[in-house]
Amino acid sequence: MSQAEKVLATDAALELIERLRAKHGDLMFHQSGGCCDGSSPMCYPLGEFLIGEQDVLLGEIGGCPFYMGKAQYEYWKHTQLIIDVVSGRGGMFSLEGPEGVRFLTRSRVFPDSE
């Protein structure tokens, strides 16, 4: 039985990550808990968002670390996050905002076999 990845990205998300990396350098993600920008995955220049003891590293997408707050992770730990891209305005603090698209988190519950 293999351990499934906690976070994945669609091809569209990976393409957007590469575009943003070309403009902004190395990147990082933090899954928003629902405050100012809803519950969207937020993309920042690497190191711009301060990670603390209450953040969990879920994995990487497109070579970028992806974090979530520990309290929120307790609700989501049985799910796989699939980061996608859709048309529309993203969060005002996330780098993709001016691109006319936004990152979106889809999810699926892990079956017992994973």
- 3-state SS class at 110: coil
Cα distance between residue 81 and residue 19, in whole Å: 21
Q: How high is the pLDDT of residue 1?
A: 40
Q: How far apart are CA 97 and CA 11, in angstroms?
A: 19
Residue 38's pLDDT is: 53
- Domains parsed from the chain with CATH numbers: 7-109 (2.60.300.12)
Integer angstrom CA distances of residue 2 from 5, 75, 110, 114: 9, 22, 12, 7
Walk along the chain (114 residues) and give the pLDDT tens digit of each residue: 456 899 999 999 999 999 999 999 999 999 976 555 457 899 999 999 999 999 999 999 999 999 999 988 998 889 999 999 999 876 678 999 888 999 999 988 887 776
Specify whether the CB–CB gap between 27 and 48 falls below 8 A. Answer: no
N residues, the chain? 114
Sequence-distant (6+) residues with CB within 8 A of 36 are 91, 92, 93
Cα–Cα distance for residue pair 75/73, rounded to 1 Å: 5
Torsion angle in degrees (nearest 10) through CA of 53, 114, 7, 78: -60
